[in-house]
Amino acid sequence: MGMLKDFKEFAVQGNMVDMAVGIVLGAAFGTVVQSLVSDIITPLIAGIFQMPDFSNLFIQLRAPETLPEGIASVSEITSIEEFREAGGVALGYGNFINALIAFILVAFALWIIVRALNKINEAKKKEEEEKEPEPAGPTELEVLLEIRDSLQK
């Protein structure tokens, strides 16, 4: 029973609950960023460079042995998924570009959040320091004089 009690205390600690909330929010944030990258940023960048989608940019390493029905040559395959399903091997650098954009956005957003939290914490500390001046206690000399006076009595 001691182990169960220890686990229960551990699981309901404030830090553990905070961490769980952070993980859930992080997963949701990742979904939002992924949507931002794939639905908004990538099409904008792709529009500038006249490409419909980065995710289908790939380098062929090995051609598929059999071509999908209705396709006469490997050069007609435009989707990396279709290329791989046909048995071809490819480096999908377009997916990497999408992941890199998502990483940069997440890192930037977290940097902004941490920076804002740090400024809030600094403001709180400064406010607390201004509110509560340190109580002036007796100096070392005053304490020694008080001890001397009490010893003399």
Per-residue pLDDT band for 44 (boundaries 50, 70, 90) equals confident
**pLDDT one-digit tens code per residue, 48-66:** 877 656 778 888 888 888 7
Q: Is the pTM of this model over 0.85?
A: no
Of the two residues 89 and 50, the one the predictor is more confident about is 89
2-57+92-152 is a CATH 3.20.20.70 domain: no
Domain boundaries, the chain: 2-57+92-152
What does the chain come to in residues? 153
Give the least confident one: 4-18, 85-99, 104-118.
Answer: 4-18
29 phi and psi angles, rounded to 5 deg: -65, -40
- For residue 32, how many C-alpha atoms fall within 13 Å in the half-sphere facing its CB? 9
The pLDDT score that the predictor gives to residue 132 is 67
Whole-angstrom Cα distance, residue 126 to residue 102? 36
